[in-house]
Every structure is written in C-alpha cells, then in structure tokens.
Structure 1
C-alpha cells in the first residue's frame, strides 16, 4: 500500500533504464513512498547504444525514454514526462575517443539537440536537456560546449519549453541565464540540474540533501527537487535512490516547510514546465 503525503511529489531529474537497470521497480519504490510525478531524462546516448555519429543515432535513446515515461505514468498517481537532449559529456567521447575536432563535435551535438526538439514540438517530450562539462576541458571544447547549450536555448525559445542544464558546480550562473534571455527564453525556465540550495540565474533543481533543501526552503525562492537517480546496476549507490524525494518531502513537512513543499512541487513546476501537478492527481484523465 502506497503512502500519501497530501501533496504532489515531483522528482525533477532521474533516469530509468528498462533494459539494464531497475526500471519500473524504481518507479514503484518512488510511488510507494508517496511520489506522484517524474521527469525522466534520457540517459547519455552511449549508455543505451553506440556513440552517435549522425543525428539519427540519437533517436533510439529518445524513443526509449518516451516509452519508459509512458509506462511509468501508468504506475503513478500523477504522471511522468520525458526530458530529452544531449549529455554534455558526449563532447569528450567525440573529441578524445572518436576522432572529432571540437567544431565537428559541436555540430553533431547541435544536430542531436535538434532531434530532441522535434520530440518536444510534436508533444512527445516536455523539455530539453543540454549543458557543458563539469570537468576541465580545453578552451576549444569549452567554447564548443557553450555553443551547443546556446543552441538549446534557441530551441527552447522557439518551442516555449524549459531547458535542463548539466553544468559545473556553481552558485552563480547569471551569464548562462543572460544567454538564454538573449535567445528569447525566460531565464526562469532554464533549470540547473544537480544544484545546491543557492543559485543565481537559472532555477535550481536541488539535489535532495537535507542541508541543501533547508537552504533552498529558507531562501523562499522558486526551486525543484531531484535525485539524479542513474539506474545503473553496476553503480547501485550512485547519486540518490528513487525513494529519496518523497522521504525528503515528508521531512520538510515535519520541519514546518509546507510553503517550500508547495513551491517545489506545485508552483515551480507550473511556472517552469507549464505542468499542473495538482490537476493530474485530481483528474486521472488530465494529461497537461
């Protein structure tokens, strides 16, 4: 029997691997603890297939993520949405191991973002994923990675959708938010995945560590909550497990942070992704 926490409970960023990982068993764990909604982000393309060499090579990973999000929705009181894009670490796979120069890698990754944008345009995905490496790279690779990210913002502006970012650890990404604004995006619809409790610029998707969540709750600013569950059987302790967000929601409620819970699980999802986590609970047929 699943627990109910009296609120929608959204994990803003996790991965599901139906072939090699726990897949729907992880969704069931999340739901049993009171989780209601998921944003399922595609795993890096080379985890579910070969390293891409052309734009169409991204499609199978995106199709898999759409299918797994659809299946997850059938097991949730709310629903799951796919978020699709190109992991910024691909640039290193292409340049270091694939014989690409940074400009060639940039173009292939931009094409991959374009394919993901097609899924958003036809309603099969909710938003896009991009970013830049969180580790040291050459100036040329850094420049190429920023160009890929800026292309994602162009698609985000055209499609009026959110863009999740994988970037270096930082509490100040105002420059990145300015790039989004230059592309025509509302910077609040840029989401920094794996954020701490403080962030200037994009909307933080806070890793569900208690200290970071307390900081975010007390700031009173928009934020989301996530686990970055990787669903890799070879790395079972990697990042946080699927039960974590509902457990942390219960803890926040016990600590008196009811307003922060509503911010993270109702108001910010509505503002950033244009999704209604309450309506999808009260009306099972509502798919917005």
Structure 2
C-alpha cells in the first residue's frame, strides 16, 4: 500500500456491492494511500426501494452498513456510514408517484427519523439531507426546506453532523442560521459537492484541481470528496475512488502540508468528532 504520511479521508462517496464495484473501489482507494471513508447511502430508489413509510428506508441503510463493514476489512483506517434521504426523492414522489408536496415531506422526514435511530445506536456517524439543486415549484421548494430543517433538528438532537446536497452556491448562510437556531453549530453542517470556499456550512470540496487550489489558499476548514457513485452504467462517475489520494499527493508535493492536515485530520475531528490519526492501523 502506498502511504502518504497522513490520513486520507474521502468525505462523500457511495458503494454498491450488489450492483457495482463495492469493495473493489475501496481497494483502489487504499492502494493509492487512502485510509478513511464516509460512505453515504445511495438514493433509495437506486436500490429498488420505493418507500411508503419511514421504516422502508431501513433496508437501504442496512445495505450501506454492510458495504461499510466490507470497506473496514480493507482500509488501514476505517469507514463510517452517513445515512439519510436524498433530496431528489421529492421529485420522484411528486412527479412520478402522485404524492402531494406535503405528503412527500412527511415521508422523507420519517425516513430521516429512521436514519437518526442508527446514529442514536452508534451504527452511523452522521445524517444526509438537502434540497433540490434544480428548479422546482414553490410548494416543492418549501416542502424540501422543511425536510432539510428537520434533518438539522435531528442533528442537534442526536449530536451529529448533517451532510447536505443542495444547489451550487458559495453562500448558504440561510442554512447555517437555521442550524444554529435549532442548536446545531453551523460547522457541523457540511455542503457536499462544494466549491473551494463557502460562507455558512463547512465545504466538502469536490476534488478537482481548480476547486482545491482555492480551498488550500483560503486557509479555512474544508474536507475533500469524490462523490463516487459506484454505478456500473457510469464507471468512475462523478470522480473515481483513486482521486482523493492522488490529489493529496499532488498538494503535498506542492507544499500544502498544513492544508492537507486541515482537510484530513483537523476538520474531520471538528465536524464529526472522529480521530483519523488514532484510527490508523499499522
């Protein structure tokens, strides 16, 4: 295994052992020096679950926990599950299944309640929620924001971080304010698929070179991710599992040791309460 001298965390990717690469992708990540993963459950309908109740999401979450267990057999560090309801489900429910925005909201909130049980039991590290990154009706937008606010309330209640899938933006102070009002510190809210800087939540920066250059120069807390989707029809999408360790090596070679410690040791500890150094094996 190629070791880079520091822990290397991919903050957001998906694994699908049933349909796609699963642990083979983890082996690629580990071979290049990757040590830690935050594994987010795939959208429920991608795993064949057309939920009618909050309990119906449980099968999706259990499958994600199985993928995490397999990853932990491979990694020199460890993997943790991040569980929740993809915000795009609202459109599937309203446009394809005939749900009202309010009924879609209630089902998605119930799914988040089920995810929070896993956090409460110590079986998951964080929650995942958000709002559509595409145009929707005002009613759907309002319902989606209600779901997002519910996730923030659950994060405060269960003392865990919340990862968000939202529209592209470098300013999400509205969400940070909603979190703070519910007792969840804004730094414990993470915008997945972020650009190099972000006002409000903590950015999880997509590991493209231009975005990372902005992040390391800014000197603010940030994380790194690939959003690898592990889809057999889209191999390597969004970024492949080798990307984060490759980018870490590149940035270390460029002299950004402090920035890499920020992204892979200090920020994970601040946001999630995890110690990526103490969880490294020999």
With normalisation by structure 2, the TM-score equals 0.99
Residue 14 (str. 1) matches residue 46 (str. 2): no
Deviation at 1:198, TM superposition (A): 1.1
1:65-86 deviations in Å (ceiling 9; x for gaps): 0111111011000000000000
1:187 corresponding residue in structure 2: 186
1:228-262 deviations in Å (ceiling 9; x for gaps): 00000101142100000000000000011000000
Residues 118-267 of structure 1: pairs in structure 2 closer than 5 A: 118-267=117-266
Deviation at 1:63, TM superposition (A): 0.2
SS of alignment partner, residue 279 of structure 1: coil
Residues of 1 paired with 2:132 and 2:90: CA distance? 8
1:172-224 deviations in Å (ceiling 9; x for gaps): 00010000001110110000000010110000000000111010001000000
2:25 corresponding residue in structure 1: 26
Deviation at 1:18, TM superposition (A): 0.6
1:269 corresponding residue in structure 2: 268
2:116 corresponding residue in structure 1: 117
2:79 corresponding residue in structure 1: 80
Residues of 2 paired with 1:76 and 1:262: CA distance? 19
With normalisation by structure 1, the TM-score equals 0.97
1:8-61 deviations in Å (ceiling 9; x for gaps): 000000000011010000000000000000000000000112321111110000
Residues of 1 paired with 2:277 and 2:114: CA distance? 31
Residues of 1 paired with 2:55 and 2:116: CA distance? 13
Which stretch shifts more, 66-75 or 164-173? Answer: 66-75
1:43 corresponding residue in structure 2: 42
1:97-123 deviations in Å (ceiling 9; x for gaps): 011000000000000000000000000
SS of alignment partner, residue 48 of structure 2: coil
Residues of 2 paired with 1:70 and 1:271: CA distance? 24
1:71 corresponding residue in structure 2: 70
Deviation at 1:140, TM superposition (A): 0.3
Cα gap change, 1:273/1:35 in structure 2, threshold over 3 Å: closer, same or farther? same
* Partners of 2:206 and 2:225 within 8 A in 1: yes
1:156-187 deviations in Å (ceiling 9; x for gaps): 00111000000000000001000000111011
Kindly tell me the number of residue pairs found equivalent between the two proteins: 282
Cα RMSD of the aligned pairs, angstroms, is 0.7
2:54 corresponding residue in structure 1: 55
1:102 corresponding residue in structure 2: 101
List alignment gaps of at least 5 residues for structure 1: none
Residues of 1 paired with 2:230 and 2:67: CA distance? 13
